[in-house]
Amino acid sequence: MESIASFHHQRPSWKDFLYQLHFIGVKSQSVVITTGAATGMVLCAQTFLQFHKVKMDTATGAVVSIGMSSELGPVLAALMLTGRVGASMTAELGTMKVTEQIDALRTLAAHPVDTLVMPRFLALLASAPLLTAESVVVGIVSSWWVGVNLLGIDSAYYLVNMTRYTDPPDVLTGLIKSFVFGAIIAVVSCHKGLTCQGGAEGVGKATTEAVVAASISILIVNFFLTLFLSRVFYS
């Protein structure tokens, strides 16, 4: 709530926002690309092995594309961001809390939410959909490469079936989910950091709690978002 109120009181610093955008968006690319590629290749192989039994090899591309776009892409990218970015945010803010840097900020008439939370929150909202899109594209390309070069699926049929059965709502569902997941990671991680108690042990505990709480929240929210968005787009 305080993050929303912050919009009315203080314009976030562009310098801090760009710094966080670089840390979250640019430096997380290797993680989400690797995750997308690995997931796409495995999903392709597993789907092919089952579909091959009923002579539906060329439908593999469609399953991978829809699965990556609407479910696996956003969820796995969000979980990886929770581990890489969320943990870092909680540890950084928690250390600032236990070393009185947050109190120092308050004495300097700066609200911690305006100064520390908003740049991270906005950077995650901007980065999460872009990173998810990148992860999905890499996953689909990887699955195509595995399907065509290792599993012997005809490239033309693979691509035609993929584009025929993957609808814009599938892609949109994934992007909306990633936007929400980005907000969850930022809110949970910053909250745990700013309410951290004690010394080094407290920071460690807060970081663990942040990763667990954000991960579980993402998985639960994903289920309800799937139901909600499918009704919105397909009813």
Residue 211 burial by Cβ neighbours in a 10 Å radius (0-12, 13-18, 19+) = buried
Binding mask 111-130 for another protein (x = CB under 8 A): x---x---------------
Contact 63, 47 (CB under 8 A): yes
Using rule CB under 8 A, residue 27 touches another protein? no
Question: In the chain, which residue ranges form alpha helices assigned H by DSSP?
Answer: 2-9, 14-21, 29-51, 60-67, 73-81, 87-98, 101-107, 112, 118-145, 155-165, 168-194, 200-234
What residues between 74 and 113 interact with another protein by CB under 8 A? 96, 99-101, 103-111
Number of residues near another protein (by CB under 8 A): 16
Using rule CB under 8 A, residue 1 touches another protein? no
Question: 183, 78, 66: which is closest to 131 by C-alpha?
Answer: 78
- Report, in Å, the least distance between residue 13 CB and another protein: 8
- Report, in Å, the least distance between residue 128 CB and another protein: 23
- Report, in Å, the least distance between residue 3 CB and another protein: 13
- Report, in Å, the least distance between residue 6 CB and another protein: 9
Write out the residues near another protein by the rule CB under 8 A: 5, 9, 96, 99-101, 103-111, 115
